[in-house]
């Protein structure tokens, strides 16, 4: 995977209640992973996708890297992602606006 300036980092952050931590992690490890991996692999221009959870701050994060902004925006209409968002919102998760950042520099490899 070659990441260079001009590529896009897409960031999605969702906040959940402390009592939802185990449930959110379970969904991320099973349904989310099983559904999204094949769907994202079918998209054009993905250079990497990372899913994380912060148990102390009750936050889940998806960070993906794309070759350009048009390809990053495919996630906005990806049916599998939209369906899972509904699942998370039903649990009470609150998402902040997804952002797409042009990479300006990176650490040398």
Q: How confident is the prediction along the chain (109 residues), in pLDDT tens digits per residue? A: 788 888 999 999 999 999 999 999 999 999 999 999 999 999 999 999 999 999 999 999 999 999 999 999 999 999 999 999 999 999 999 999 999 999 999 887 6
| H or E segment and range at residue 62 | strand 59-66
pTM assigned to the model: 0.92
Residues whose CB falls within 8 Å of the CB of residue 105, separated by 6 or more in sequence, listed in order: 5
For residue 48, the model assigns a pLDDT of: 96
Q: Identify the three-state secondary structure at position 86.
A: helix
Q: Is 43 exposed, middle or buried (0-12, 13-18, 19+ CB in 10 A)?
A: middle
Domains of the chain as residue ranges with CATH: 8-102 (3.30.70.100)
Tokens of 39: 């769907």
For residue 107, the model assigns a pLDDT of: 85
Residues whose CB falls within 8 Å of the CB of residue 77, separated by 6 or more in sequence, listed in order: none
For residue 109, the model assigns a pLDDT of: 61
State how far the Cα of 56 lies from the Cα of 91, in Å rounded to an integer: 18
């Amino acid at each position: 995977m070659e990441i260079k300036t001009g590529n896009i980092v897409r960031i999605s952050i969702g906040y959940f209640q402390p009592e939802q931590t185990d449930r959110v992690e379970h969904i991320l490890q099973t349904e989310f992973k099983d559904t999204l991996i094949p769907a994202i692999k079918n998209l054009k221009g993905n250079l990497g996708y990372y899913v994380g959870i912060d148990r102390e701050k009750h936050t889940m994060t998806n960070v993906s890297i794309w070759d350009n902004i048009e390809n990053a925006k495919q996630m906005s209409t990806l049916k599998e992602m939209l369906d899972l968002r509904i699942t998370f919102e039903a649990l009470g998760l609150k998402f902040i606006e997804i952002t797409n950042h042009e990479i300006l520099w990176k650490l040398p490899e």
